[in-house]
A = this chain, B = another copy of it.
Amino acid sequence: MFTGLSAFPFTPITSDGIDEAAYERLVGRVADAGVDSIGALGSTGGYPYLNREERARAAELAVKSAGSVPVIIGVGALRTRDVLDHVEDAQRAGAAAVLLSAMTYQALTDDEVFGLYEDVTANLSVPLVVYDNPGTTHVKFSDELHARIAGLPRVKSIKIPGVPADQVRARVGGLRSVLPDSVSIGISGDAFAADGLLAGCDGWYSVLGGLFPKTCLAIARAAADGDAARARALSAELAPLWTLFARYGSYRVVSAIAVEIGLLTAPGLPRPLRPLGETGRHEVTAVLNGLTKRD
């Protein structure tokens, strides 16, 4: 479950909950493509913007729609009490694992971040993926902190942020050297995934995989087969998408793509976030039209 392609579908958010039918379609489409796992309620799944009830409902729908594909469910929150509530709901819904970020308002010390994972793993009966996402949480995990957390029971994988191609081998090698063998490393930041997998990452926690799972599976399989040229070439074809992700944020771009290709009838973003404006939507259309192959 913690290797290969883990696809993170978008959660369409409405003013009074989530668009359940659309969410089931998005998850089902990803499961049907044969991904190795599904990440529900990751950042692309909008977890920080949903209340407990909405998150519990999304977890249920994701597990139901995923069929036999294991579902990893995001449980992060600013307060440990709320994380534990989300863990309870995720487990009840049938989560195969949980994904835990270290969300912050007040900056956290390393001991506080470790304490969060300690408190949560002590109350957990499924595996946990450490979600290292400095772009949203502003927490910087050192290798030493990762190693401390990886020593806790039930910690089975680390979702690391993207690393530039010329640094990824050193980054992954350095982190690997301090982790138990039982803990996998998964790359995120889709633009960096091919190089990350080729540099020794065990898996790819993918935003685009939630929309175009077959396209992303082709990259992941090429990398797993050691076909570096093919993995890089397939990723390079998607470079215009990576550019849009960097320009507008992948969350807004994924929403716009889903509308553009008819998977959603509304952007499904929670205010204060706003959908892409006309310029951005035109760029999305142009990029999609330029892709020779995609799901």
Contacts and interface: CB of A to CB of B under 8 A. Distances in A.
A116 interface: yes
Contacts of A135: 107
A78 B105 CA distance: 10
A177 interface: no
B108 A273 contact: yes
A82 B249 CA distance: 23
Size category, A interface? 20 to 34
A167 interface: no
A106 interface: yes
Per DSSP, chain A at the interface is loop
A166 to B, nearest CB: 25
Q: Report the copy number of this chain in the oligomer.
A: 2
A142 interface: no
B81 A15 contact: yes
A81 B270 contact: yes
- Top 4 nearest A-B pairs (CB, nearest first) are A80-B271, A116-B272, A48-B105, A49-B79
Contact of A111 (B81, B82, B274): B274
A50 to B, nearest CB: 8
A285 interface: no
